Chains A and B, each alone.
Chain A
Amino acid sequence: MQAGHSTIDLSEVAKFEAMAAEWWDPNGKFKPLHMLNPCRLDYITQQIAAEFDRDLGAEKPFVGLRLLDIGCGGGLLSEPMARLGADVVGADAAEGNIPVAQVHAEQSGLSIDYRFTTAEALAEAGEQFDVVLNMEVVEHVADPLAYLTACRQLLKPGGLHICSTINRNAKSFAMAIAGAEYVMRWLPKGTHEWAKFITPDELYELMRNAGLEPVDRKGFVFNPVSWQWSLSARDLGVNYVTASVKPA
Chain B
Amino acid sequence: MDNPVSLTILKRMTHDSDLLIVGGGLNGPALALAAARAGLTATVIDAQPVAQLTDAAFDGRAYALAMSSVRLLRNLWLWDSLADNSQPMLEIKVSDGRAGEGPLSNFFLHFDHAEIEEGPMGHMIEDRFLRRALQDAMADCPPITRINEERVTDQETDSTGVTLTLASGRVLRGRVLIGADGRTSGTAARAGIRRTGWDYGQTALVCAIEHELPHNGIAHQFFMPPGPLAILPLPGNRSSIVWSETHENAARFNALPEDEYIEMLRPRFGDFLGDIRLAGGRFSYPLSLSIANSFVGDRLALIGDAAHGMHPIAGQGLNAGLRDVAALAQVLSDASHRGEDIAAQDVLERYQQWRRFDTATLAMATDLTNRLFSNDNPLLRMGRDLGLGAVNAVPALRRGLIREAAGLTGDLPELMQG
Q: With contacts A38-B338, A45-B339 known, is A108 near B160, CB below 8 A?
A: yes
Taking a contact as CB atoms under 8 Å apart, the answer to whether B340 and A58 are in contact is no
**Interchain nearest-CB distance for A27 vs B (Å):** 8
Q: Does A81 contact B (CB under 8 A)?
A: yes
A108 to B5, CA, bound (A): 13
Q: Does A223 contact B (CB under 8 A)?
A: no
Taking a contact as CB atoms under 8 Å apart, the answer to whether A108 and B346 are in contact is no
Q: Which residues in B have their C-beta under 8 angstroms from that of A79?
A: 339, 341
Q: 1/0 contact trace for B319-344 toward A, CB 8 Å?
A: 00000000000000011011111001
Q: With contacts A38-B340, A45-B339 known, is A107 near B345, CB below 8 A?
A: no
Q: Which residues in A have their C-beta under 8 angstroms from that of B349?
A: 26
Taking a contact as CB atoms under 8 Å apart, the answer to whether B39 and A57 are in contact is yes
Taking a contact as CB atoms under 8 Å apart, the answer to whether B334 and A45 are in contact is no
Residue from the set B10, B334, B339, B344 with the largest chain A CB neighbour count within 10 Å:
B339
Taking a contact as CB atoms under 8 Å apart, the answer to whether B39 and A59 are in contact is yes
Taking a contact as CB atoms under 8 Å apart, the answer to whether B9 and A80 are in contact is no
A84 to B340, CA, bound (A): 9
The listed residue (A26, A38, A57, A58) touching B345 by CB distance below 8 A is A26
Q: Which residues in B have their C-beta under 8 angstroms from that of A81?
A: 339
The listed residue (A37, A45, A80, A109) touching B13 by CB distance below 8 A is A109
**Interchain nearest-CB distance for B252 vs A (Å):** 51
**Interchain nearest-CB distance for B185 vs A (Å):** 25
Q: Which residues in A have their C-beta under 8 angstroms from that of B13?
A: 109
Q: Does A83 contact B (CB under 8 A)?
A: yes
Q: Does A124 contact B (CB under 8 A)?
A: no
Taking a contact as CB atoms under 8 Å apart, the answer to whether B341 and A83 are in contact is yes
Taking a contact as CB atoms under 8 Å apart, the answer to whether B341 and A107 are in contact is no
Q: Does A235 contact B (CB under 8 A)?
A: no
Taking a contact as CB atoms under 8 Å apart, the answer to whether B338 and A109 are in contact is no
A58 to B346, CA, bound (A): 23
Instruction: Count residues of B near A (Cβ-Cβ below 8 Å).
Output: 21
Q: Which residues in B have their C-beta under 8 angstroms from that of A34?
A: 346
Taking a contact as CB atoms under 8 Å apart, the answer to whether A56 and B341 are in contact is no
Q: Which residue of B lies closest to A25 (CB)?
A: B345
Q: Does B38 contact A (CB under 8 A)?
A: yes
Q: Which residues in B have their C-beta under 8 angstroms from that of A83?
A: 339-341
Taking a contact as CB atoms under 8 Å apart, the answer to whether B338 and A42 are in contact is yes
Q: 1/0 contact trace for B1-43 toward A, CB 8 Å?
A: 0000110011011000000000000000000000000110000
Q: Which residue of A lies closest to B38 (CB)?
A: A57
The listed residue (A56, A80, A106) touching B340 by CB distance below 8 A is A80
Q: Which residue of A lies closest to B333 (CB)?
A: A57
A57 to B160, CA, bound (A): 22
Q: Does B159 contact A (CB under 8 A)?
A: yes
Q: Which residues in B have their C-beta under 8 angstroms from that of A107?
A: 9, 159-160
Taking a contact as CB atoms under 8 Å apart, the answer to whether A26 and B346 are in contact is yes
Q: Which of B161-208 contact A (CB under 8 A)?
A: none
Q: Which of B342-358 contact A (CB under 8 A)?
A: 344-346, 349
Taking a contact as CB atoms under 8 Å apart, the answer to whether B9 and A106 are in contact is yes
- State the majority secondary structure of interface residues on B: helix
Q: Does A41 contact B (CB under 8 A)?
A: yes
Q: Which residue of B lies closest to A83 (CB)?
A: B339
**Interchain nearest-CB distance for A104 vs B (Å):** 9
The listed residue (B5, B159, B338, B345) touching A45 by CB distance below 8 A is B338
Q: 1/0 contact trace for A31-65 toward B, CB 8 Å?
A: 00010011001100100000000001111000000
A154 to B5, CA, bound (A): 34
A34 to B347, CA, bound (A): 10
A81 to B337, CA, bound (A): 10
Q: With contacts A34-B346, A58-B39, A59-B39 known, is A41 near B9, CB below 8 A?
A: no
Q: Which residues in B have their C-beta under 8 angstroms from that of A108?
A: 159-160, 341
Taking a contact as CB atoms under 8 Å apart, the answer to whether B159 and A57 are in contact is no
**Interchain nearest-CB distance for A215 vs B (Å):** 21
Q: Which residue of A lies closest to B339 (CB)?
A: A80
Q: 1/0 contact trace for A94-111 toward B, CB 8 Å?
A: 000000000000111100
A109 to B160, CA, bound (A): 7
A11 to B10, CA, bound (A): 39
Q: 1/0 contact trace for A68-105 toward B, CB 8 Å?
A: 00000000000111111000000000000000000000
Q: Which residues in A have their C-beta under 8 angstroms from that of B6?
A: 106
Q: Which residues in A have their C-beta under 8 angstroms from that of B10?
A: 109
**Interchain nearest-CB distance for A60 vs B (Å):** 10
Q: Which residues in B have their C-beta under 8 angstroms from that of A59?
A: 39
Q: Which residues in B have their C-beta under 8 angstroms from that of A38?
A: 334-335, 338, 340
A106 to B248, CA, bound (A): 60
A107 to B160, CA, bound (A): 7
A59 to B338, CA, bound (A): 12
**Interchain nearest-CB distance for A4 vs B (Å):** 28
Q: Which residue of A lies closest to B160 (CB)?
A: A109
**Interchain nearest-CB distance for B33 vs A (Å):** 16
**Interchain nearest-CB distance for A26 vs B (Å):** 4
Residue from the set B5, B6, B159 with the largest chain A CB neighbour count within 10 Å:
B159
A83 to B341, CA, bound (A): 8
Q: Which residue of B lies closest to A24 (CB)?
A: B344
Q: Which residues in A have their C-beta under 8 angstroms from that of B344?
A: 26
Q: Which residue of A lies closest to B12 (CB)?
A: A109
A34 to B349, CA, bound (A): 12
Q: Which residue of B lies closest to A227 (CB)?
A: B353
**Interchain nearest-CB distance for B164 vs A (Å):** 18
Give 5 nearest A-B pairs by CB, closest first: A80-B339, A41-B338, A26-B346, A84-B339, A109-B13
- 17 more A-B contacts (CB under 8 A) besides A26-B344, A83-B339? A26-B345, A26-B346, A37-B340, A38-B334, A38-B335, A41-B340, A42-B338, A45-B338, A45-B339, A57-B337, A79-B341, A83-B340, A84-B339, A106-B5, A106-B9, A108-B341, A109-B12
Residues in chain A within 8 A of chain B (CB atoms) = 26, 34, 37-38, 41-42, 45, 56-59, 79-84, 106-109
13 interchain pairs (CB within 8 A)?
A26-B345, A37-B340, A38-B340, A41-B339, A56-B337, A59-B39, A80-B338, A80-B339, A83-B340, A84-B339, A108-B159, A109-B12, A109-B13
